[in-house]
Amino acid sequence: MNAQQVEKILKQDGSTMTQPNSPSSAPDADAPLRSVHTNTFVQVLQQLGISLVVSTYQAGKVVVMRADGESVNTHFRQFRKPMGIAVSRSAASGQITHRLALGSGAAIWELHNIPDTAQRIPPVGKHDACFIPRAIHVTGDIDIHEIAWVEDELWFVNTRFSCLCTLDKQYSFVPRWRPPFISEYDLRDRCHLNGLAIRDGKPKYVTALGETDTPGGWRNDKASGGILMDIDSDEILLRGLSMPHSPRWYDGKLWVLESGRGSLSCWDGSSQALVSIATLPGFTRGLDFCGPYAFIGLSQIRESAVFSGLPLTQRLTERICGVWVVDIRNGETIAFLKFEEAVQEIFAVSVLPGIRFPELTEWSPELMGSSYVLPNEALVNTVQPSANWEFAETYFTQGNGLHRQGKLSEAIAAFRKCLDLQPTYLPARYNLGVILGDLGQYEEAETTLKQVIAAEARHAEACNSLGFVYSKQQRWEEAIAQYQRAIEIRPNFANAQQNLRLILAQQENLKSV
């Protein structure tokens, strides 16, 4: 399928959900990113009852792909250099995913599914899972690649140190295995170890871009120096691969992506050869399965020294970034989603079985502050709120989202409801005061912001906003006093400094007239 054929069957994805953000916060990093997809991509998600989680370290985002009517809702969350994704399924809940692990720039995040929280996320009743951060382990910058759960233990590829590792609270990481040709640990990436496959509940296979023992040595033969290894025997099963990634054991077979060729392949143990199943229009990296289908990440790859000279770059002048769905029985592409801008590289693709419309948060004080997980013995003695009991945080989050959409009257109503439920919820009161000031309702805005300052005397933002309200009413001395107070609290408060300079300049101009 060439690029022109691809374009003919694309469908615009007009649905993108964004992260709630308060009026006082900086613009959200979760900006809509355009993607297009085939109708069949939605159908596959719906028929299998799944959603996908995709990482793109180049764009610094984790993408949740979920069916929403006739479209795919691409839901973006911001993380620093997100790479490997590990999905853990609870035996108690069958195949429902109950936690994720995410490798990032210098840490591993662990996020747990809290279904009760999912039921409170607007629009209420639509989400069937909510993954919230529960632990962060700082590893240092190890260029972490693939990660995988082995029962309750997390294994991950430490690419800089050319080894497989696990976690320990006392250490950044604990090396557990390294290729026999790696003579010592060295943070200079000697073989670019990158892929990890689990078989029968144990780490079993790895991929690397070179069989080299010198810093960056793999770069000299990146186009055909890749290897596939058996961890138990330390045997190299295959040599001469073009940038292999994402080994997986599935349906009794060992699969691997030969990224430099843009292919999905299967290892034939009897002939000791790699059998190509499908060739795709991009750098293949990131692989998961569900039923008879493979979900494969495609990257455009940069025109750089790292990717120059690959068979893929010689075969295709135009390469695509997205997620392709391939029928592993015949190698045919049955669906795909393509990113149009901003996202050029994908690292991991993971299936969330049994979850159709999940939420995933990077760091949400509102949701984390109202989400609780307790041992069963404690739950027996815990009073459960009635079904009609409401969280103030729900309306605070709702108000933030409405404000970002420009629905100011609805946002005011949401913040008022939040304060009805919890009058001491200061962020909601501050946000309410800001919006009232923006709408020119200065008397109520003044009262509201004064209430914030009375509760927290050193609330610099409230002082600055109150100064704005006074300036709009030409109450210059009062405005100057509030701006000065804001700067006194926070000496580097640039917005308050600018507001103060403008008023003082106006005063000087009036004197000179």
pLDDT in tens, 101-126: 999 999 999 999 998 888 888 788 89
Q: Are 190 and 131 found together in one domain?
A: yes
Looking at the predicted structure, is the pLDDT value of residue 60 above 80? yes
Q: What is the pLDDT of residue 251?
A: 95
489 is a domain residue: yes
Which has the minimum average pLDDT: 85-99, 412-426, 485-499? 85-99
Contact 313, 12 (CB under 8 A): no
Strands (E), 280-347: 283-290, 293-299, 322-327, 332-339
Q: Are 138 and 245 found together in one domain?
A: yes
Q: Are 332 and 422 found together in one domain?
A: no
Name the pLDDT band for 192 (thresholds 50, 70, 90). very high
127 is a domain residue: yes
CATH assignment of the domain containing 286: 2.120.10.30
**Paired strand residues for 136:** 109
Q: Are 350 and 443 found together in one domain?
A: no
Q: Give the count of beta carbons closer than 10 Å to the beta carbon of residue 192.
A: 25
* One-character DSSP codes across 180-246: TT--S--TT-SS-EEEEEEETTEEEEEEES----STTGGGGGTTT-EEEEETTTTEEEEEEESSEEE
Q: Are 299 and 447 found together in one domain?
A: no
Please tell me whether the peptide bond between 123 and the residue prior to it is cis, using omega within 30 degrees of 0: yes
What are the Cα distances from residue 120, in Å, to 199, 384, 400?
A: 38, 15, 15
Looking at the predicted structure, is the pLDDT value of residue 172 above 60? yes
pLDDT top residue among 83 and 505? 83
Q: Which amino acid is at 47?
A: Q
pLDDT in tens, 76-99: 999 999 999 999 865 444 456 689
16 is a domain residue: no
State how far the Cα of 436 lies from the Cα of 451, in Å rounded to an integer.
Answer: 14
pLDDT in tens, 294-343: 999 999 875 554 555 566 666 665 778 999 999 999 999 999 999 987 88
8 is a domain residue: no
Q: Are 355 and 405 found together in one domain?
A: no
Name the pLDDT band for 379 (thresholds 50, 70, 90). confident
Strands (E), 8-152: 11-12, 35-37, 50-56, 61-68, 71-78, 85-89, 97-103, 107-113, 129-138, 144-150
Q: Are 308 and 438 found together in one domain?
A: no
pTM of the model: 0.74
Q: Are 339 and 433 found together in one domain?
A: no
The helix-helix angle for 392-404 and 426-438 (nearest 10°) equals 30
Tokens of 196: 């990890």
Map residue 488 onto helix, strand or coil.
Answer: helix
**β pairing state of 11-12 and 322-327:** unpaired
Q: What is the pLDDT of residue 46?
A: 97
State how far the Cα of 34 lies from the Cα of 15, in Å rounded to an integer.
Answer: 9
pLDDT in tens, 236-267: 999 999 999 999 999 999 999 999 999 999 99
* Residue 259 DSSP label: G
Q: Are 194 and 293 found together in one domain?
A: yes
452 is a domain residue: yes
Percentage of the chain exceeding pLDDT 70: 86
Q: Which amino acid is at 508?
A: E
26 is a domain residue: no
SS3 content of the chain, % helix, strand, coil (to 5): 30, 35, 40
Q: Are 447 and 303 found together in one domain?
A: no
Strand order, beta sheet including 193-199: 193-199, 202-208, 226-230, 235-241
Q: What is the count of structural domains for the chain?
A: 2
Q: What is the pLDDT of residue 10?
A: 35
Residue 496 lies in domain: 386-512
**Paired strand residues for 336:** 324
pLDDT in tens, 200-209: 999 999 999 9
Residue 62 CA from chain centroid, whole number: 2
